[in-house]
Chain A
Amino acid sequence: MNSFNYIELVRPALPEIFLALAVMALLMLGVFQKSGTEAAAADSARLVTGLSVVTLVLAVFLVGVDARGRDEAFCGMFVTDPFAVFWKILVLIGAALTLVMSGDYLVRKGLARFEYSILVLFATLGMMMMISANDLIALYLGLEMQSLSLYVIAAFQRDDARSSEAGLKYFVLGAVASGMLLYGSSLIYGFSGTTNFNDLAELFYAGQAQPPSIGVIVGLVFILSGLAFKVSAVPFHMWTPDVYEGAPTPVAAFFAAAPKLAAVALLVRVMIGPFGDLLPQWQQIIVFISIASMILGAFAAVNQRNIKRLMAYSSIGNVGYALIGLAAGDETGVRGVLIYMAIYLFMTLGTFACILAMKRGDRMVEEISDLAGLGKTHPMMALALAIFMFSLSGIPPLAGFFGKLYVFLAAIEAKLYALAVIGVLSSVVAAFYYIRVVKVAYFDDPVQPLDTPVNRSIGVVLVLTATIVLFFFAYPGPILTGAAAAAASLFGG
């Protein structure tokens, strides 16, 4: 008999274990650093942030290197497959880029505390667990780990009423959503006797004679509501604009990027995995959520003056587009979701990098009108912003167009014509407010120019994301094949 190989046993979860250990080590490092004065605190924050970015990059490698087929750990609670790998890499990139561009803002606002990076890392760890969850319990654990960290960083600027309000609002509403999710899970467990996704999938296998009991359906609806809250889809979107506006800008950037991706990943996995064969039961709900999100995201944003609020509504609308792919419920659809969210990540991070670069003197500004004349005062930043805005409105040859192309492809294939038509029409409305930002930046004359030298780390993120969004069309291979493999792995099993 071979001796029991513990490494092999936990191997699928190696990146998560590495990340958990690294976070704890960084926490210790931060605690034992001197932080008596503001300067010392900033120094220790800078050190911990730098190491956190390194940790995230290492985690990307661990995830990438270990990319094998489907593998389970912890008695089937935890699964890693190409689907999980794809999302984890995106989430880690999102978290790393957010950390890179937050530094300057936090120092400026007197918020440079090492706890910020630690919380971001804990949230990222939670997201990775969510993505790999193969059991309702594991799902809940990952989700709560992520959410609790996020509640805290939303209120990170604790002397500011708006930030505290954002944190509190997020916490209360998030707790309700978690409660619904938990209640739904308990219903599912009660009516099926298992929480494992594999067993659930077998139980609801389409070939069955009898339809699923009503209790399962109700439980499914509760789970769906809880997850819809996490992805900020209509009608569970109300927290989004307030939290984005109130939270410190880097935190809002983080919210728009990594947690949103993780929640969409989780939603896709839960709907397609255990409940995939109940498609006729939940398709209507997803179609409704998708339509409502797209329309609300398009119309509510038209009158926004604050660019963070605008991005909040934009993120609601974008989730609506991504959900078109889920509504299709097949491999093409899931591939569409993957491609859409991958591109969305870079567009939204880039836009937030622009927002973070908006400062005048010592003050951060966040009104759209503050961008007036950007084309003259900051030509490169204006160009990047224009690229992101045209991309978000889905104009080719920018990356955003290809995201939309793939989800609409799925919708047409699944014969969801009404959904597709409403989708493209609302994208025209959305184009209006995106190009209004371009208009302010290029057509209006500068009133009071923003500060000229853009912080270097923000500049790096800007250049990186703008390049990806602009030149995606030239070399779309990696994301497309990665997404295709990831989508296939979800349906192969």
Chain B
Amino acid sequence: MSHFPVLSLLILLPLVGTAFILTIRGDAEAVARNTRSVALWTSLIEFVVSLYLWINFDPATASFQFVERREWMPGLGISYHLGVDGISMMFVLLTTLLTPVCVLASWESITQRVREYMVAFLVMESLMIGMFAALDIVVFYVFFEGVLIPMFLIIGVWGGPRRVYAAFKFFLYTLLGSVLMLLAILAMYFDAGTADMQTLMAHGFPVQMQSWLWLAFFASFAVKVPMWPVHTWLPDAHVEAPTAGSVILAGVLLKFGGYGFLRFSLPMFPDATVAFAPLIFALSIVAVIYTSFVALAQDDMKKLIAYSSVAHMGFVTAGTFSLTVQGIEGAIYQMLSHGIVSAALFLIVGVVYDRMHSREIETYGGLVHRMPVYAFVFMLFMLASVGMPGTSGFVGEFLVLLGTFQVNTWVSMLAATGVILGACYMLYLYRRVIFGKLTKSELADIADLSPREMAVFAPLVVLVVVMGVYPPPFLEVMHTSVANLIDQVTQAKLASMPLSMAGR
């Protein structure tokens, strides 16, 4: 299959932008200005190029498309192998959508070391796309881990007062999970004799080995998702990261874990997946209910949204391991929706933070009187986060509940309480920040959204509504791939029936 190597182009483009930025010369002001424009244009072109993927994507097949393959490490059979299917394609688009948003959102709030900042974001975009597009397990790991470096720097250099602590916690937590996955990858490589992911999916690992491999991958993905009880790095990282850092972290980095479950744990270790599903359900339910209560008690807006992320990702893991079409499609949809909604919510916090330099809920109140547009945008995303019908959040949560209901009614019921709790903490937050009388004198002349900020929110607003009102275009592309994924799991399950499921 010879065609235009669009995935490599997507990986390389941000690096080309980086190279441009590094050659900019002049005084500090000019460098900062030019850097911003180069970064914005690079990420916009990148987004346009990525649309090519969606337009030319063939939703009728479950096999990988836009495949590229080149020999990389001689003698080992490890190759630079890229391709996307219905599951990964949407995540690539999510990445390319959020990066220009991040660049635009940092336009005025970042004044220190602008060049390094934009370089970090562009390099990260390149790594994230590579992660979603990788079809070789070693290549996947390289991209997966590589993201740690720019994110560590973004939190540590441009973060808040406790940035060093947060950056270290983020780095070491995720590294600890990933190194175990690396060993599992090597063990798989030896058992199957290849690092090619498609071959590994069809390989059929021995049941005993599957459990160990599954646990090693779980160690990595659970930290990324993050699942309770290894979620504690997330509130710290989110609170300390600059606004755009939080956006990427919540929007894309958290999806690494969910995507990893779908790409590795389910198709490669089906027996272990079935065996461990109750564990995942339990942890997801705890995440949904417990972190919702924690969110209710927060005084810090960013922390509240961070905890709500953990709760929402609980839906994702529960849906994924329901192993039903609705559950998995719901999980993917929820991830996309959460990518947009939580990104937008962090941006919303960023807007007032830029004006008042405080994330405390106490600082605000009655903003609707001064900032009507802001209040409207906030309301929309608040409702999307709650899962209001007509917004993207509803579709994802509804599908997940539908999927889990078929497997385990209790899980479904308990997860549904999370929706109610979500409404509690989000509405409570909204009331305290937006409504009431504008009594605080320092808020008296706070300005509404600037045109630049509106431009940041516009695409997200449109998407949230479109995804909520008319989901077919988004569900269509993933449908065949998801059905195929479920086939892979159930077939393997049937094959090993006499061993593991004879008792049923």
Residues of A within 8 A of B (CB): 375-376, 379, 386, 390, 395-397, 401, 405, 408-409, 412-413, 417, 420-421, 424-425, 427-428, 431-432, 435, 438-439, 442-443, 473, 476-477, 480-481, 484
| Interface window among B59-67, B156-164, B297-305, B400-408 | B156-164
**B190 on the interface (CB 8 Å rule)?**
yes
Q: Which of B123-154 contact A (CB under 8 A)?
A: 138, 141-143, 145-146, 148-149, 152-153
Select which of A386, A432, A439, A476 is within 8 A of B164 by beta carbon. Answer: A439
Query: Chain B at the A interface: mostly helix, strand, loop or mixed?
Result: helix
Q: Do A390 and B142 form a contact, CB below 8 Å, given A424-B179, A431-B175, A439-B156?
A: no
The total of chain B residues at the interface (CB under 8 A) is 34
Given A395-B148, A412-B190, A428-B176, answer yes or no on A435-B182 (Cβ-Cβ < 8 Å): no
Would you give the shortest CB distance from B8 to chain A, in whole angstroms? 13
B183 touches A432 (CB 8 A): no
Chain B residues near A432 (CB, 8 Å)? 168, 172
Assembly CA distance A484 to B180 (angstroms):
26
10 new A-B contacts, CB < 8 A, other than A412-B189, A480-B75, are A376-B113, A379-B116, A395-B149, A397-B142, A412-B186, A421-B180, A424-B180, A428-B172, A443-B163, A443-B167
Taking CB atoms, residues of chain B closer than 8 Å to A396 are 141-143, 145-146
User: Which residue of chain A is the closest to B171 with respect to CB atoms?
Assistant: A435
What's the minimum C-beta distance from B173 to chain A, rounded to whole angstroms?
10
Contact A435 B190 (CB under 8 A): no
Q: Is the contact region of chain A dominated by helix, strand, or loop, or is it mixed?
A: helix
In the complex, chain A residues whose CB is within 8 Å of the CB of B171: 431, 435
347-374 of chain B: CB within 8 A of chain A: none
In the complex, A428→B174 CA distance in Å?
10
Expressed in whole angstroms, the Cα–Cα distance for A480 and B176 within the complex equals 27
B294 within 8 A of A: no
Q: Is B455 an interface residue (CB 8 A)?
A: no
* A438, B141: Cα distance in complex, Å: 23
B73 at interface by CB-CB < 8 Å: yes
Q: Is B24 an interface residue (CB 8 A)?
A: no
Q: Which of B146, B183, B187, B189 contacts A395 (CB 8 A)?
A: B146
A443 and B75 contact, CB distance less than 8 A: no
Whole-angstrom distance from the CB of B283 to the nearest CB of chain A? 23
Residues of A within 8 A of B179 (CB): 424-425, 427-428
A298 to chain B, nearest CB (A): 12
Q: What are the 9 A-B residue pairs with the smallest beta carbon separation, nearest first?
A: A424-B179, A396-B142, A412-B186, A443-B156, A396-B145, A428-B176, A397-B142, A396-B146, A397-B146
B376 within 8 A of A: no
Q: For residue A480, which residues in chain B have a CB less than 8 angstroms away from its CB?
A: 73-75
Tell whether B410 is near chain A: CB-to-CB under 8 Å: no
6 contacts between A and B (CB under 8 A): A376-B113, A379-B116, A408-B182, A412-B190, A425-B179, A432-B172
Closest CB-CB distance, A385 to chain B, in whole Å? 13
**Cβ distance B217 to chain A, nearest Cβ, rounded Å:** 14
Residue numbers in A under 8 Å from B72 (CB-CB): 476
Give the docked Cα–Cα distance between A69 and B73 (Å): 24
Q: In the bound complex, how far is the Cα of B143 from the Cα of A412, in angstroms?
A: 22
Write the chain A residue with the least CB distance to B158.
Answer: A443
Determine whether the beta carbon of A412 is less than 8 Å from that of B187: yes
A397-B146, A412-B190 as given contacts; A424 in contact with B182, CB under 8 Å: yes
Contacts of A431 in B (CB 8 A): 171-172, 175
Give the CA-CA distance A435 to B175 in the complex, in Å. Answer: 12
> Which chain B residues (251-304) contact chain A, with CB distance < 8 Å?
none
Chain B residues 156-206 with CB under 8 Å of chain A are 156-157, 163-164, 167-168, 171-172, 175-176, 179-180, 182-183, 186-187, 189-190
Most B Cβ at <10 Å: residue of A396, A432, A484: A396
| B74 engages A412 (CB within 8 Å) | no
Residue of A nearest to B177 (CB): A428
Residue of B nearest to A394 (CB): B179
Q: Is the CB of A390 within 8 A of B172?
A: no
Distance between B203 CB and nearest chain A CB, rounded to angstroms:
16
Shortest CB distance B22–A (Å): 10
> With the chains together, A428 CA to B177 CA distance in Å?
10
Task: Enumerate chain B residues within 8 angstroms of A424, measured Cβ to Cβ.
Answer: 179-180, 182-183
Closest residue on chain B to residue A436 by CB atoms: B168
Please name all residues of chain A whose beta carbon is closer than 8 Å to the beta carbon of B113 when the two chains form the complex.
375-376
Q: Is there contact, CB below 8 Å, between A435 and B142?
A: no
In whole angstroms, what is the CA distance A442 to B120 when docked?
13
When chains A and B are docked, how far (Å) is the Cα of A88 from the Cα of B322? 58
Docked-complex contact A401 and B145, CB < 8 angstroms: yes
Once bound together, how far apart are the Cα atoms of A427 and B171, in whole Å? 13
Also in contact, A421 and B183, with CB within 8 A (given A395-B145, A432-B168, A443-B157): yes
Task: Scan B7-34; emit 1 where CB is below 8 A from any A CB, else 0.
Answer: 0000000000000000000000000000
Residues of A within 8 A of B187 (CB): 412
**Given known A-B contacts A408-B183, A412-B183, A477-B74, A428 and B175 have beta carbons under 8 A apart:** yes
Which residues between 64 and 98 of chain B lie within 8 Å of chain A, taking CB atoms?
A: 72-75
The answer to whether A442 touches B156 (Cβ under 8 A) is yes
Residue ID in chain A nearest B184 by CB atoms: A412
Q: Contacting A442 at CB < 8 Å: which of B157, B168, B190?
A: B157
Looking at the assembled complex, report how far the CB atom of B432 sits from the nearest CB atom of chain A, in whole angstroms. Answer: 33
Q: Report Cα–Cα, A163/B156, bound state, in Å.
A: 38
- Provide the bound-state CA to CA distance between A425 and B187, in Å: 17
Please determine whether B168 and A408 come into contact, CB atoms closer than 8 angstroms.
Answer: no
State the CA gap A428–B178 with chains docked (Å).
10
Q: Which residue of B has the minimal Cβ distance to A413?
A: B190
Q: Report the Cα distance A432→B167, complex, angstroms.
A: 11
Structural contact, B152 and A401, CB atoms closer than 8 A: no
| Shortest Cβ gap from A168 to chain B (Å) | 39
Other-chain contact of B152, A413, A421, A435, A473 (Cβ < 8 Å): A435
**Which A residues touch B138, using CB under 8 A?**
405
A439 & B167 in contact (Cβ 8 Å cutoff): yes
Q: Whole-angstrom distance between the alpha carbons of A480 and B73 in the complex?
A: 8
CB distance from B160 to the nearest CB of A (A): 12
Q: How far is the CA of A386 from the CA of B73 in the complex (A)?
A: 25
Specify which chain A residues have a CB less than 8 angstroms from the CB of B168 in the assembled complex: 432, 435, 439
Q: Give Cα A375 to B116, complex, Å.
A: 10
* A360 vs B74: C-alpha distance when bound (angstroms): 46
In the complex, residue of chain A having the shortest beta-carbon distance to the beta carbon of B72: A476
Most B CB atoms within 10 A — which of A376, A421, A427, A439?
A: A439
A88 to B410, CA, bound (A): 67
CA distance A307 to B97 in the complex (A): 42
Least CB distance from A147 to B in Å reads: 36
Query: Could you tell me the distance between the alpha carbons of A148 and B138 in the complex, rounded to whole angstroms?
Result: 44
Min distance, Cβ A20 to any Cβ of chain B, angstroms: 36
A395 to B186, CA, bound (A): 16
- The interface residues of chain B lying within 8 Å CB-to-CB of A425 are 176, 179
Inter-chain contact B149/A390, CB cutoff 8 Å: yes
Chain A, residue nearest B189 (CB) = A409
Q: Give Cα distance in the complex from A431 to B182, angstroms.
A: 16
Smallest CB gap from A475: residue in B: B72
Contacts of B141 in A (CB 8 A): 396
A484 touches B75 (CB 8 A): yes
Q: Which residues of B contact A408 (CB under 8 A)?
A: 182-183, 186
Q: Which residue of A lies closest to B186 (CB)?
A: A412
**Bound state CA distance, A58 and B256, in angstroms?**
50
For residue A465, give the distance in angstroms from its CB to the closest CB of chain B: 18
Q: Which residues of A contact B190 (CB under 8 A)?
A: 409, 412-413
Nearest CB of chain A from residue B106's CB, rounded to whole Å:
18
**Interchain CA distance A438-B152 in the complex, whole Å:** 10
A425 to B145, CA, bound (A): 15
Give min CB distance, B82 to chain A, whole Å: 15
A409 in contact with B186 given A397-B142, A401-B142, A428-B176 (CB within 8 Å): yes
Cα A190 to Cα B235 in complex, Å, equals: 67
